Structure formats: structure tokens, C-alpha cells
Amino acid sequence: MQTQLADFIRDTAAGREADEILRKCVHCGFCTATCPTYQLLGDELDGPRGRIYLIKQMLEGGEAGEETRLHLDRCLTCRSCETTCPSGVEYSRLVDIGRELIERRVPRRGGERMLRWVLRELVPRRTVFSAALGAGRAVRPLLPATLRDKVPPLRSPGVWPRNAHAHARRMFVLAGCVQPAMAPSINAAAARVLDRAGVALSEAPRAGCCGAVRFHLNDPEGARDDARRNIDAWWPAIEAGEVEALVMTASGCGVQVRDYPYLLAADSRYAARANRVAELTRDISEVVAAEASRLTPLLASARVAGRPLPFERVAFHAPCTLQHGLRIRGVVEGLLGDAGFVLQAVRDAHLCCGSAGTYSLLQPELAQRLRDNKLSALQAHEAQCIATANIGCLTHLAGGTDTPVRHWVELLDACLHSPGTDR
């Protein structure tokens, strides 16, 4: 694609990156076939190719208004188009540049601006979010259906291993911002599974939100601050060689943390540390798969002993951040199959469920349509449970079905442990 960037951005880092990305696009349109919003709306401007033209127009000094912003807002940043693109167009980078530019040119006003500010300030602050969620649970029956779906019932925090300190191998797991309040049992389950593999998993006290919430709400500086705080929390143990990996039980956090080198590239103090952190970052599925030689015999022994599975037929929803962001495909399904679960086929498994961080709050109509389509696909073969790998997807899907929705590592943990035990 030929470009003639305007003077205001041509010689900037963002302009050079955008120009390189735009020149890779060959207008083939393969991306539209896998774009969730294009599939729903059938509008070229609500697909990657159309949005690329809108961003190109802005970068070349053309007109841009609220309609341009609307089409960019509707993008889920699911990266399905990147998986499909034969030319390797880094669409997600380009749309980040476009969104930052449109925010400056067409400022938001009124309730829309206030809602985004509230989300930026509320969600990443774990203590504040936990208090707000507790209040929401107290009045949940009185809430409108659209909000009630976003307030999950209280879940057990789970039991962390008591003897983890005895293991020589140690890893950190990110607690994140919303997961400790919504589903604290996930990290406990991950710790219990890795405990059986001889790995101690713990949360660094000062680590918090990965930065994805603020970044995708057009607050890149706030996202950088979140990244620096996490790096500071992890760095002493990394520098001392005390941890061998940084484990992410939410695939959305995994994508963001692996992007720290991109986010902090211009920060001379943190750039090298960000690279090291990204190198150490692992999705929990990668860690469990690497420990399969230790865990597979334990799972086999549990089956021989007659320990029942919590569910037999399971449908796995692969979050976009797992399959398109981290490019991890088939690993979780293999682990669940090895544990004895019967995996159900899921049509259009590449399409987004509509959660996409705060998207389900900012674009509720589109998010609900995407969720309904996804649940129809997941439940087509009467699965007894839906498994997933990201807290946002888990909560979003659970709000639309009575079928249990669990993190896949919780199912694996149930195969290895009797309820209420740590061994």
C-alpha cells in the first residue's frame, strides 16, 4: 500500500512504524473473513481492511471525526486478522496508533468520557475493584440484566499448597487486577498443579494490573506505569536468579506483559528489564505442558484409582489472546484430553466471544451478539462444562449460560486433588 504521511507524523517513531505496517498491506481482504465485527455488521469499515484505510487517511492528514472513532472503537483487537493475513500486517500495532491519534483529534465528551475514566481508575486498582464488586454482589438481584451478568457470584478462594517452600524451583504468578476478586481459585489451582510437579508458585506482593486495561482505554502512560511497577516487583528475584518464570493464568495479561519491550522501548531505565521480563513470561499452559513428564503419571494414577472427573464432556473456548496474541493453539486441548476429558468440537473457534477486556461494557450490544454466537457453538454438543484460559472470557461467557464455565487449570487440579486438600 502506497503512503504519503503528513508532516505532523512522518518523522516520528509512530509514523515510521505505521508507514512500515501500511506498506505490507496488499488489500487482499482475507482478514475480513475472520473479523468478528465484519461478520456481524457486513460493513467494510468495520473490518480490518476498512479500518486500515481510515487510519491511513488520518495519517495522511485527511478528515477524521466521530464516525472514524466509532469504527475504531468497534474493533475488538482480537488479532484474528493477524493470524489470517498472508503478508504479516501487524494490524494491532496500527490500530493502537490510530486510536491514540483519533483520541487527540476528536476528544470524547459527556457520559462516554466519564465511563472510560471510571473504568481506567476502577478496574486496575485491585482493592477498589474488589470493594466495588462486593457492593455489586450485595445488590445483584436489583441490578439490570446487563449489569447483573457482569457481577459473578462469590467463589471459593481455593487452597494454596502448604509445603511449597520446600521446592527448589520457584516461579511468580501474576495476580492481576480483577481475577483476585472474581475468581481467586484460579491461581490457587495453578499453584496446586505445579506443586505436584515440584514447582513453588507465589504472587509478588507489589505486582498488580498488567496494564492492558489502561492501554486499551487509550491511556498508554498509565499502562507504562503499571508495567514499571510490575517490573520493579519482580526484578529483585529475577536479578538474583530466584525465579525461573513469570506465569500468567490470564492469557490477556500474558499478551500485555510480553509486549512490555514494545511499551517501554523508549525508556532507557526499563527497556532492558522489560526485555528480560518478556523472555521469562509464560502462559500457564506452556508451563504445565513443559512439566508433562511429571504430571502425566499422576493423572494416570488418579484415573486408575477411580477418581471421578468433575465433568466428562468439555468444550474449550480458546481466548483470542491465547490463540492469536500468544499464538498458543492446541496445547490446552491436549492437556485436557490427556487428563481424560472428552473435548467437544467447537465451530468457528477462531472468533472472539465479545469480552475483549472492557469491550463488553463499552460495546454491550455487539458483545452480547458475539457471546450468544459463541455460546451456541460451545454448547452445540451438550458439553457439561465450558473451559477457557482468560478471566474476562470466563466472566463474560458465564453471564450468558447456566453451563459451568471454569478455567481449564481448575479442571486439571480437580483431577489431581480431592476437594479441600493441598496434596
Q: Report pLDDT digits (tens) over 172-229.
A: 999 999 999 999 999 999 999 999 999 999 999 999 999 999 999 999 999 999 999 9
pTM attached to this predicted model: 0.93
pLDDT digits (tens, 9 = 90+) for 73-90: 999 999 999 999 999 999
- Chain-centre distance of CA 385, in angstroms? 20
Q: What is the structure's pLDDT at 418?
A: 54
Distance CA 349, CA 367 (A): 16
Q: Using CA atoms of 413, 416, 420, 421 in order, give the dihedral in degrees to the nearest 10.
A: -120
Q: What is the pLDDT of residues 363-387, one digit of tens each?
A: 999 999 999 999 999 999 999 999 9
The answer on pLDDT for 260 being more than 50 is yes
Work out the average pLDDT over 264-270: 96
Q: Which amino acid is at 220?
A: P
Q: How far apart are CA 174 and CA 202, in angstroms?
A: 8
Query: Rounded mean pLDDT of 334-345?
Result: 94
**SS3 state of residue 33:** helix
Average pLDDT over residues 104-125: 93
Return the minimum-mean-pLDDT range out of 196-210, 266-280, 283-297, 299-313. 299-313
Let me know: does 185 contact 410? Beta carbons within 8 Å.
yes
What pLDDT is attached to residue 422?
45
Kindly state the average pLDDT of the residues 59-79: 95
Q: What is the mean pLDDT of the chain?
A: 93
Position 421 pLDDT exceeds 60? no
- DSSP-derived 3-state class of residue 173: strand
423 — pLDDT class (breaks 50, 70, 90): very low
Tens digits of residue pLDDT in 1-27: 888 899 999 999 999 999 999 999 999
- Give residue 420's pLDDT band: very low, low, confident or very high (50, 70, 90): very low
Distance CA 339, CA 333 (A): 10
The CA distance from 71 to 32, in Å, is: 14
